[in-house]
């Protein structure tokens, strides 16, 4: 695969400024870019599959050895976002993006043709019901908007494909009453009252509003940020942590899952889904400057900094909402997102004040050093994808279309 045309927002250009007050790692920007690029090459070599491995010439897909199946929607969404952001550094980025997109389009959900069947086996066959996962579709639509900004036109017109998918997400994966994201296009019955906090992607909702002009996306944004604030106040006032899953979103006061709802007994804890929240909230904060996401991300960063004594190596892979740790230490899926949140500990002029100066900068620098010293594990696609995208944000190579 070879590059075909120039990127309009090339990696390393830093042409889209972040919000005033955003912290950045100490040191040389070019060196930070090189660290991200090194991690990208390793991610690409470890997890991108092409050709006959994924159904034929011209196709690519992100391989997930640590998931229930080799190819899952979440990973394809990550792949589209990453390759669009790496344009200008990787001459194959455009072709890789189109290859992943071909895989996605070849596997529509059985419930809606413009959503993605969430799982494929090693033979490229849809498995697990051929239905969708909301987080995958959100990132796929967002990736298409990035591609439209980067390259325009292309495979089936990126903008048209994005608009169709965004509309399908609104139709099938957003609750019409609460405006909260559902688990997928299959959610009904008791699952109609469940939302997964890692699907709460404020910058995506803003991009969808801008692309479509649909004011319902303003309602989606406001509903998620209001609920995030209420959950922190009622259930995690000392930490700001959110649970993996929220229940009773339509029938009463939304609350953390009381136990296993979908995946594990830790569905109500800060576990392997919610670990992405500091990244998602922080990315919106530094790109939009919204006081709501800024305050939420800053609160998470300050709690983590205090709880660990400023040592990223002490971040554990699982917490109760009161901050009690139960997981092992060391996964990038947990420590990398806190680096994004740490960017909000700079001066903003809001009620947070000037932060804590040297301690905040030292915390961000320590997290950055931890990420740079943690190469992607070829057996851990999930953590590698979360880490690389967190590094893209922290190095100021992220932007909202």
The residues carrying an active-site annotation are 74, 135
User: Beta partners for 126?
Assistant: 120
Residue pair 393/400 in contact (Cβ under 8 Å)? The answer is no
User: Beta partners for 50?
Assistant: 60
| Pairing between β-strand 60-62 and β-strand 71-72 as defined by DSSP bridges | unpaired
Can you tell me the distance from the alpha carbon of 336 to that of 312, in angstroms, rounded to the nearest whole number? 9
Residue pair 255/247 in contact (Cβ under 8 Å)? The answer is yes
Neighbouring C-beta atoms of residue 176, cutoff 10 Å: 8
Residue count (the chain) = 401
Counting Cβ atoms within 10 Å, is residue 63 exposed (0-12), middle (13-18) or buried (19+)?
A: buried
Buried b (16+ CB within 10 A) or exposed e, 41-57: ebbbebbbbbeebbbee
Residue pair 245/195 in contact (Cβ under 8 Å)? The answer is yes
């Amino acid at each position: 695969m070879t590059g075909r045309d120039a990127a309009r927002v090339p990696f390393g250009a830093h042409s889209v400024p972040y919000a005033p007050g955003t912290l950045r790692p100490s040191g040389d920007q070019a060196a930070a870019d090189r660290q991200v690029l090194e991690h990208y090459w390793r991610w690409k070599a470890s997890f991108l599959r092409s050709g006959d491995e994924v159904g034929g010439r011209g196709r690519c897909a992100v391989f997930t050895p640590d998931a229930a199946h080799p190819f899952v929607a979440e990973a394809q969404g990550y792949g589209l976002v990453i390759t669009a952001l790496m344009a200008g550094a990787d001459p194959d980025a455009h072709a890789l993006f189109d290859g992943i997109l071909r895989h996605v389009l070849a596997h529509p959900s059985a419930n809606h043709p413009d959503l993605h069947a969430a799982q494929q086996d090693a033979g490229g066959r849809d498995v697990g019901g051929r239905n969708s996962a909301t987080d995958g579709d959100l990132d796929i639509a967002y990736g298409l908007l990035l591609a439209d900004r980067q390259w325009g036109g292309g495979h089936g017109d990126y903008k048209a494909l994005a608009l169709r998918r965004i509309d399908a997400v609104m139709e099938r994966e957003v609750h019409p009453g609460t405006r909260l994201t559902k688990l997928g296009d299959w959610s009904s019955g008791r699952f109609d009252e469940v939302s997964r906090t890692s699907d709460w992607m404020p910058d995506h909702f803003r991009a969808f509003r801008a692309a479509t002009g649909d004011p319902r996306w303003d309602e989606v944004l406001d509903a998620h940020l209001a609920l995030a604030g209420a959950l922190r106040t009622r259930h995690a006032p000392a930490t700001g942590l959110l649970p993996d899953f929220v229940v009773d979103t339509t029938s009463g006061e939304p609350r953390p899952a009381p136990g296993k709802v979908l995946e594990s007994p830790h569905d109500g804890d800060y576990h392997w889904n919610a670990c992405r929240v500091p990244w998602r909230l922080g990315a919106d904060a530094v790109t939009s400057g919204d006081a709501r996401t800024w305050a939420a991300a800053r609160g998470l960063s300050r709690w983590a900094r205090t709880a660990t004594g400023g040592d990223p190596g002490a971040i554990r892979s699982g917490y109760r909402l009161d901050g009690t740790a139960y997981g092992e230490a060391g996964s990038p899926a947990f420590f990398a997102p806190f680096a994004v949140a740490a960017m909000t500990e700079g001066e903003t002029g809001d009620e947070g004040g000037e932060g804590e100066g040297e301690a905040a900068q030292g915390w961000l620098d320590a997290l950055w050093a931890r990420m740079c010293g943690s190469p992607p594990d070829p057996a851990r696609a999930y953590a590698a994808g979360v880490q690389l995208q967190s590094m893209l944000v922290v190095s100021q190579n992220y932007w909202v279309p």
